[in-house]
Amino acid sequence: MKKSNPLLMSGVMLVLFCSTTALTHAHNISESSSMKKQEYHLKMDKTMADMHHRMNDIAFNDNPDDYFLRMMIPHHQGAIDMARVILDKTQDKEIKNLALSIITEQENEIAIMNQLIKEKADAN
């Protein structure tokens, strides 16, 4: 039976609260920029919620190494998803380069983590 992680649940609640606050704030900005900002915030909020949902789906186990790797994969995927959102919005070349770098590095690290999970499982 999967146990809920109370710390993770607290984090999810904090993200949801902050998301609501950010959307409320965005609504109070001028009409034209508000729609653009609201769209951006909604996309970012969705990536965060998806990440936390995927992390919450990880069943706690007694192997700290395995649990760490399994939790870090959705965390890294969240960074990739957020980088893709900013790539659609920014015109800043430095931000674009950073986002592309994040995508590349995080995808590589996810591949390494998946390989480590497989190797450790095969060894047992």
- Domain membership flag for residue 78: yes
* Alpha carbon distance, N-terminus to C-terminus of the chain: 22
Check pLDDT > 80 for residue 23: no
Residue 77: inside a domain: yes
CATH at 47: 1.20.1260
114: containing domain: 6-123
Report how far residue 92's alpha carbon sits from residue 86's, in angstroms, rounded to the nearest whole number: 10
Q: For the chain, what is the mean pLDDT?
A: 83
Structurally, the chain folds into a number of domains equal to: 1
What pLDDT score does 1 carry?
Answer: 47
pLDDT of residue 99: 97
**pLDDT confidence of residue 26:** 47
pLDDT range class, residue 38, cuts 50, 70, 90: confident
Within a domain: residue 115?
yes
In a domain, 1, yes or no: no
pTM for the model stands at 0.69
Quote the percentage of the chain above a pLDDT of 90: 61
Residue 97 lies in a domain: yes
**% of the chain at pLDDT higher than 70:** 71
Any domain includes 81: yes
Q: Is residue 51 part of a domain?
A: yes
The CA-atom distances, in angstroms, between 118 and each of 2, 36, 81, 91 are 21, 43, 24, 40
Domain-located, residue 91: yes
**pLDDT confidence of 115, banded at 50, 70, 90?**
very high
Mean pLDDT across the stretch 102-124?
95
